[in-house]
Structure 1
Amino acid sequence: MRIRLLPAALVLVVAVVLPASRASASDFAVDVELVLAVDVSRSMTLRELEIQRRGYAAALASREVVEAIETGGYGRIALTYVEWAGTALQNVVIDWTLIAGRTDAEAFAARLTASAPTSMQRTSISGALDFAVRRFDGNGYDGLRRVIDVSGDGPNNQGRPVTRARDDAVAQGIVINGLPLMTREGLGTQWHLDDLDIYYRECVIGGPTAFMLPVVEWEHFQQAVRNKLVLELAGWPVPDPPAALLPASESGYDCLIGEKIWDNLYGDWN
């Protein structure tokens, strides 16, 4: 698999203007409020967890991502990094931070690599999305766009159906983008979906500009994250309402596949 790096100047992303009533008059204006929601479930090895941390850090401090931030309308974004696993297992590694240039981006990256990640049980994408949505409330920032960037190496197997969490987030004007990790190094091979990219496309991502970018080999991870961040950050808002989503029941894809795998292996999946 070969991933081409997209120059920030060539990327156009259509975005959504959020309702003005959401923000407080004292909130600081930014182009994007971005939650990086990163999977640390036990199906991943310690090496993979380390690759993720370092990959995000290197991508955030890269020239392409810094340029994408600096060329926005305000030239600044608000960013938080969250690691997640089961329904109630989320860890805020770095809270909301203003990124307005290279110095800020490099400082954020340094904080990411200052500690080691810890794995946790189960995979609740719905729990991660619900947690990320709540992180926007009262964070002190007023973004033209609100985006959740969620990565994961398997389907939802705990908590409420992921499509409900997705739809609730999109109804609030939040865009969900996906980074399905389709590698085969980790544990729990029963959770590996050959079509995890399709699962993310049909069941996880949402919003009028949503997209997913799969990672098949860990050696491509850093570059994939760079591409994804540039796509998420380089857009300009337009006054269009969120597009209607196709209900999962009409898409032809079984978005409860993770819950069914768990039920077949262990019984009650919650």
Structure 2
Amino acid sequence: MQRRQLLRLSGAGVLSAPAILRARRARALGGVPPDDAREAVDVELVLAVDVSRSIDAEEHEAQMRGYAEAFRDPQVVRSIAGGGIGAIACTLFTWSDAAAQENLVPWSRIDDAASAERFAAALDAAPRRTGSYTSISGAMEHAMGLYEEGPYEGTRRVLDISGDGMNNAGRRLEPVRARLVEAGIVLNGLAVVDRAPMPGSGSALEDYYRDEVIGGPGAFLVVAEGFEAFGRAVRRKIAREVAGLGAAGHLAGDVLPFPRVDRVAA
């Protein structure tokens, strides 16, 4: 049994921590490399931020500031602490062309306000560089490598893709998305509808992210109506992701289930 499955069972109250340790020892005695080399967390969260040429310097700054502020938000910190393990692992990279991805903040364990602040400070200090084309498929492939090479193992793996355009470079999106979903990675989206060049293009981007980008059990899309709404959208989105809530989930104090598509106005 893979440790990811054991962690899920433990979080559901099916297996105790000693049972997980016994399973690890059994794997080691059986000649299978133990999973102990990876540290257990509730979720491995990869943040993938669009910096293609449609994103200007001000919008790029709005995105980075939004992610930093999200990790300073008390609700996000409470969501992290409320997990079965009480910790997540998170990393952030920017993307544009098929081969243009830049890891800005490495995998980091976040388990309290202090570690969340360190992650936010690293985002504040990260460089702001932009690219040209929009390769969502390239971002997905890059994220897969980060999961494979990372030092953590979560009960869930979530890829958070934010952007304001459709895939126009690199591999076709559908088979790449299918590979990640098959690997058990949940793909959530944050689509920024801003400065639409023609009537209906905002709706087209929302439909595209909903139908072509997000995927996996409980996957959802947040639509920010302009970069002015980005900070609020990303705080809501990350709180929901680390709490493990899909389209039918609830956060404390919420009466209605979360929709598959959630809109945040400017």
Q: TM bucket by the smaller chain? A: 0.7 to 0.9
Distance (Å, rounded) in 1 between the aligned partners of 2:51 and 2:148: 24
Letter in 2 for 1:78: A
Deviation at 1:124, TM superposition (A): 0.2
Aligned partners of 2:104 and 2:127 also within 8 Å: no
Match status 1:41 vs 2:52: yes
Amino acid at match of 1:231: R
SS in 2 for 1:143: strand
Report if the CA contact (8 A) 1:18-1:173 is conserved.
no
Larger RCO, structures 1/2 (Cα 8 Å, 6+ apart): 1
Instruction: Decide whether aligned partners of structure 1 residues 71 and 167 sit closer, same or farther in structure 2, where only a CA change above 3 A counts.
Output: same
Q: How far has the Cα of 1:92 moved from its partner?
A: 0.2
Partner of 1:215: 224
User: Which digits, 9 at most, give the CA deviation of each residue in 1:42-84, with x for residues without a partner?
Assistant: 1111000000011100011110100000001111000000100
Where structure 1 has 5 or more consecutive residues not aligned to the other structure, the ranges are: 1-16, 238-270
Aligned-partner SS, 2:217 = coil
Identical amino acids, percent of aligned pairs: 43
Q: How does 1:135-214 map to 2 (within 5 A)?
A: 135-184=146-195, 189=197, 193-194=201-202, 195-214=204-223
- Describe how 1:78-93 pairs up with structure 2 within 5 A: 78-93=89-104
Contact 2:5 2:155 in 1 (8 A): no
Deviation at 1:116, TM superposition (A): 3.6
* 1:3 alignment counterpart: none
Rounded to whole Å, the distance in 2 between the matches of 1:26 and 1:179 is 33
- Correspondence 1:230 to 2:250: no
- What amino acid does structure 2 have at the position aligned with 1:73? G
From 105, 121, 127, the counterpart of 2:132: 121
**Cα deviations by residue, 1:138-167 (Å, 9 ceiling, x for unpaired):** 311110000000011100001111111111
User: Normalization by structure 2: what TM-score?
Assistant: 0.77
Higher Rg: 2
Alignment of 1:99-110 (within 5 A): 99-110=110-121
- Runs of 4 or more, structure 1, over 4 Å off, are 17-23
Determine the C-alpha separation between the residues in 2 that align with 1:62 and 1:222: 11
For 1:219, the aligned partner's letter is: E
After TM superposition, the score normalised by the length of structure 1 is: 0.76
Distance across 2 between alignment mates of 1:167 and 1:110: 34
Alignment-mate amino acid for residue 106 of structure 1 = E
Matched residues, number = 217
Paired residues for 1:249-264 under 5 Å: none
Kept after mapping to 1: 8 A contact 2:218/2:245: no
Letter paired with 1:117: R
| The structure with more helix, counted as a fraction of residues | 2
Distance 2:128 2:42 in 1: 29
